[in-house]
Amino acid sequence: MPPAIFSFEAPRAGPKYFAGAFDSKILAMQPVDPQFSFNPMAGIPIYDVRMRSLMVGPRQRPDPVDPIYIPVGGRLFALSVGSFQLLYPPPDDESDDQEEEEDFVWGWHALPNPPFQHEHVTSYAVHRDGRTIFVSIGGESSATFSFDTAESVRDGCMWKNHGQWQLPFSRKPGTTTSWRICSMDVISDDCENGQAVKYTREELATTVSDHELVTGVTLVSMGGGSKFCVVECCLDHSVSVPFIQLVTFSMMYGKNGELTTGNSRQFREYKNIPQGVSSEMLENPVAFWM
């Protein structure tokens, strides 16, 4: 593994509290120590990968429970148990019209709570329009909802129900080595039915031997377009050592309209994972493309 470029002190086993947003920044939003929870100066570390600099950002209050962070249109949305919030970019990154607002305070803003329970969320995605979030829920009443992030609270932004269907993937995949990419037609704002789904014939995972186990997987978009990377955390039972496998590929349609990766797949393996990595991180690897 390449050497770490930045380290900080925080509670372990919290991969869900990391988010990549605002172009090249990584936010570490782990819950704060209870003895400092009421400190108005308590903030979150934000590391800028390109500038190699550190800044302190506003903390969510109270600390979010099981958060899902979704960067959309230069902003960061946080969907957690009992709340739905928005964080604008740091003041230095604000657009001209926002800079003109003298009373602008960099902090989290409350948005309308979704019409579903957070624990029922099975998957989510950002529409290619760059402004709409889609969320699917399971349980007895499965459904898919959307939220248009371009609508302001003053305009009455609300969640919209698109019917009893789900996005064709899960945010919590099981233990498997047979990964395939799927695609579906762009969903219109008034769509109330699921669209046809296409799957690749090629499996994206690398070959895993009998004494190796895939513990967690993350799919990362590599700068938009059709290029992606699959990050696999694996465990070698023979020596009880974790390692990482990467699969990069590009998506395209074949002559007959089938979804394929063609000959674009490339594989790479990283060993020498730092000792003491939590099982939560191995099961839910975190990766960003910046």
When mean pLDDT is compared across 110-119, 135-144, 210-219, 256-265, the lowest value belongs to: 210-219
* Alpha-carbon distance values, 250 to 158, 229, 232, 247 (Å): 35, 9, 17, 10
Q: 104 pLDDT band (50/70/90 cuts)?
A: low
Q: Where in the chain are the domains?
A: 1-111, 202-290
Residue 277, token pair as written in the block = 């990595």
For residue 242, the one-letter residue type is P
* Per-residue pLDDT tens digits for 34-56: 766 666 667 899 999 999 999 99
Nearest to 269 by CA among 230, 226, 239: 230
| pLDDT at residue number 72 | 92
Strand partners, 26: 20, 47
Residue 186, token pair as written in the block = 């762009």
Greatest CA span in the chain, whole angstroms?
Answer: 62
Query: What gap in Å lies between CA 82 and CA 119, rounded to an integer?
Result: 10
Pair 115, 128: CB distance under 8 Å: no
Pair 141, 164: CB distance under 8 Å: yes
